[in-house]
Amino acid sequence: MSMLFGKLTLAALPHEWFTIAGSVSIILGGIAVALLLTYFKRWKWLWNDWLTSTDPKKIGIMYIIVATLMLFRGAMDAAMLWLQQAFFAGAGQGYLTPDHFQQIFTAHGAIMIFFVTMGFLFGIMNFILPLQIGARDVAFPFINTLSFWLYVAGAALINMFFVFGGEFAATGWLAMPPLSGLEFSPGTGVDYWIWSLQISGLGSLLGGINLLVTILKMRAPGMTLMRMPMFVWTSLLSMVLVISTFPTLTVALVLLFLDRFFGMHFFTSSYGGNAMLYVNLIWSWGHPEVYILMIPAFGIYSDIVSTFSKKRLFGYKTMVGAAIAITLLSVLVWLHHFFTMGAGANVNAFFGIMTGIIAIPTGVQVFNWLATMFRGRITFSTPMLWFIGFLCTFTIGGMAGVLLGVPGADFQLHNSLFLVAHFHTMVIGGALFGIFAGISYWFPKVMGFRLNERIGKYAFWFWVTGVVTSFTPLYILGLMGASRRLDHYDPSLGWQSLFMVAGLGMVIIGIGVALQILQIVVSIIQNKENRDASGDPWDGRTLEWATASPPPEYNFAIIPKVTDRDAFWQMKQAAVIVSASEAIPHRDSSFHYDVKTLGGCATLPGGFSRNSIPVIYEDIVMPKNTAMGIYVSGFIFLAGFALVWHIIWLIIVGIAGAIICVIIRSFDENTKYVIPAAEVERREGDGNANIKNQISK
């Protein structure tokens, strides 16, 4: 049987309460989805229009859906940890065993970084970047769909122990040796961790290459590098870091796998290896990964602040320079994660200084945002509120980070809850709030109607209050000596009341999440009242607002010509946007232009007639949908699962199947289809007519 199933036996199947609960949830959820699709006869629609789509907008939406599901999974893990720490002090172990607590701790960190934050950001980039640069598609549509399905395969594999049993890693989210070695972790948990991250990391690397080439090679005519929106700039820099550092993660995971699978000793000190090699490899990826998440959020905030302040972004060139400086410095600070590992005073001093220096360009960006707001006509809509929440929480986390960058202070605070509080106020306040800001900002563009503002503001205040309530006690506990990964403690230490306050913060955040769900539900119900008829609900400044909401699959019927970094704002102010149909009044009635155009926009020099002129449409070539990304990722998923359980024949099948699918795809020359010019003209005309009707109502 071992030849057929490897280490997978009946004894490995789910048998603990949490794995059984997970299995039941996954099975019941799958059955419910299948029944709904069958009842509404949506299987063919799902497959043809979504799962096999190469449209980056649809791929972006699917990224966000999967990331949302993983967010709920990661949030449940966090709630279980908070509950254990808040109510189970003393001699009793509580409702979680120490091993189960460590498994949850590890899963929470890996899921929230790899499958939540990365998923949301890649989703937003897929939808928005081609629109902002005036492109119809991404550079490599097949690679784009493949990268998404590899991300899904990794997300599925990290949850697979619920279905097939075993365990998850109890090593912490970076699986440091020797704890992650066979001697201390002989089960399958670390292997699930290795291969879920390896597969999703491959997807991230491919996605990074695709987006980088898209930005560099597919910008609209006239859009020089210094005319790109800040979100495009920060996405470009984030993808540079992805391409530069994810191979390091791949190498670290491969070496750890070789130690575990073949009994090698790269990180086993008793046999000539060195665990510090792994620590350096994983953190030389791990700290840039933080900036991979943060830098795109800075771009989102820049676009939002400029839009809602009704001003050009202050200090655009210094903002670009600061973002480049952050990117370069992010690869020079990784050792501050292990000052206590004995590298020596000189090495610690260098990395401590670098950690302090990287705060300078970050501060430049903060002051430029404030200067943009100064004397602006600020509208405090929900996206802007998320920015204000970011400023408050990120500043707290940033100051704590500078303190931790001082080696002497780090020796006292390392591995304490002070570090946990710092990391969460940075990532939640910086990256997650940026994601929420971006979703609320671009939601009308994605769905065609706005989110409910009133409920969105309630959700914001609960989130900010919850974050401060949750993590301020952890800063205090860290200063009192409480270490992280603490599953129980002595009540005489006086920590429980602070843990309970942190648990209250979790409840407040939970209310904020519930309000966000309610906001989406209410917005869908009230979609007619919140309809975005103009395609430009915020009076935006960049090209994505020049298209219909939601945009057609080709984005732009005629590629726009860019003459300014606030390209769409400049077009509106000059009133030079025209189309084949008659002009439609903008909602502020200050001038006339065709709101739909801009899917087929043409520009005239300032001073020329504002009347519409005929636009000559051309055939548009677009990529066909393909299921090959699903097939390749499916085979890679099988190979990853087989590597976890040492099922040799299935490893061979998975790798061979993936290679064969790629070869078949490479010989497929029928990968494009053409939208005739007449069809484009008809769609643009129908869209304009619909907009007129909605405006007249």
Segments in 482-530 forming alpha helices (H): 496-525
Length of the chain: 697
Same domain, 617 and 658: no
Residue position matching structure tokens 């230490």: 493
Same domain, 562 and 665: no
pLDDT value of residue 514: 97
Which residues have C-beta within 8 Å of that of residue 617, sequence separation ≥ 6? 557, 558, 580, 600, 677, 678, 680, 681, 684
Range scoring the smallest mean pLDDT among 367-381, 590-604, 673-687 = 590-604
Mean pLDDT confidence for 314-331: 97
Q: What percent of the chain has pLDDT over 70?
A: 92
Same domain, 184 and 127: yes
pLDDT value of residue 688: 57
Residue position matching structure tokens 């430049």: 364
Other CB atoms within a 10 A radius of the CB of residue 3 amount to 8
CA distance 7 to 167: 13
Mean pLDDT confidence for 340-368: 93
Whether residue 161 lies inside any domain: the answer is: yes
Answer whether residue 610 shows pLDDT above 90: no
* Structure-block tokens of residue 482: 């409480």
Same domain, 205 and 285: yes
Whether residue 408 lies inside any domain: the answer is: no
pTM: 0.93
CA distance 684 to 577: 14
Q: Which domain holds residue 124?
A: 1-292+627-670
Secondary structure of 336-400 in HEC code, one letter for each residue: HHHHHHCCCHHHHHHHHHHHHHCHHHHHHHHHHHHHHHCCCCCCCCHHHHHHHHHHHHHHHHHHH
Which residues have C-beta within 8 Å of that of residue 143, sequence separation ≥ 6? 206, 207, 209, 210
Same domain, 63 and 40: yes
How many domains, the chain? 2
Whether residue 150 lies inside any domain: the answer is: yes
Same domain, 52 and 167: yes
pLDDT value of residue 128: 97
Q: What percent of the chain has pLDDT over 90?
A: 80
CA distance 255 to 272: 14
Same domain, 185 and 265: yes
Whether residue 81 lies inside any domain: the answer is: yes
Mean pLDDT confidence for 322-336: 96
Mean pLDDT confidence for 437-466: 97
Chain segment 271-302, per-residue pLDDT in tens: 889 999 999 999 999 999 999 999 999 999 99
Whether residue 309 lies inside any domain: the answer is: no
Nearest to 513, CA basis, from 78, 27, 62: 78
Same domain, 575 and 666: no
Answer whether residue 609 shows pLDDT above 70: no
Whether residue 282 lies inside any domain: the answer is: yes
Same domain, 646 and 556: no
Whether residue 160 lies inside any domain: the answer is: yes
Whether residue 280 lies inside any domain: the answer is: yes
3-state helix, strand, coil in the chain (%, to 5): 70, 5, 30
CATH code (residue 78): 1.20.210.10
Same domain, 178 and 277: yes
Mean pLDDT confidence for 325-339: 94
Same domain, 70 and 95: yes
Same domain, 115 and 226: yes
